[in-house]
Amino acid sequence: MASDNGRWAATFTSAISYLIFYLFFTGALQYLEIPRIGIQSTRFILTSVESALYTGPLIQVMGDGFLLNLRIYPALLGAVISALVGLNAGLIWTLFRRGLLRACLLGSAWGGVSGLLASIISFGYVCCGWPASLALFGLGLITSLSPLLTGLAATLLLFNAYILNRRLNLLTQKAAH
């Protein structure tokens, strides 16, 4: 039971941390300081935006001296990727706590590689406007590749979680005998 609590804590903590990092790093969540004009309360505005980098729904949170923009589609994709990152982290934590991580990494090098690749690829989603991907590939190419890269990232993370879970089950059964 304590192992399960540690696993869920690692999963949840990793997923939330990665989501926050993802949202700010990709630009899905932007914080802007604006001049103070005496806004009495915080306002939530659901709107739609059309630009070269993002077209879709946007939530704006406006208060006196700040504006938060949350691009909904990239935030949802970030939540999916973050959940998969958290799932992988929880499995790795469980393997580590049981002393089985070394055997897992020696038995399957693809586990760490797919997690790393998925993490890097997931930042290519253009609707967030990640400047490095735009500088490297240009707007046209990234716009056409972004859905594929994000799908690849999710697939790799899901495959990695499957491998880790399978390995955990096999090693746990082997240790029990």
Which strands sit side by side in the sheet containing 55-63, from one edge to the other?
29-33, 66-71, 55-63, 43-50
pLDDT in 10s for each residue of the chain, 177 residues: 455 778 888 889 989 998 888 888 778 888 999 899 888 899 999 999 887 777 889 999 999 999 999 999 888 888 888 898 888 888 888 888 887 766 554 445 445 555 545 555 554 444 444 444 444 444 444 444 566 667 777 788 888 888 888 888 887 787 776
Q: What is the pTM of this model?
A: 0.72
Pseudo-torsion of CA 155, 159, 165, 170, nearest 10°? Answer: 170
Instruction: Tell me the C-alpha distance between 47 and 19, whole Å.
Output: 22
Cβ–Cβ under 8 Å, residues 103 and 156: no
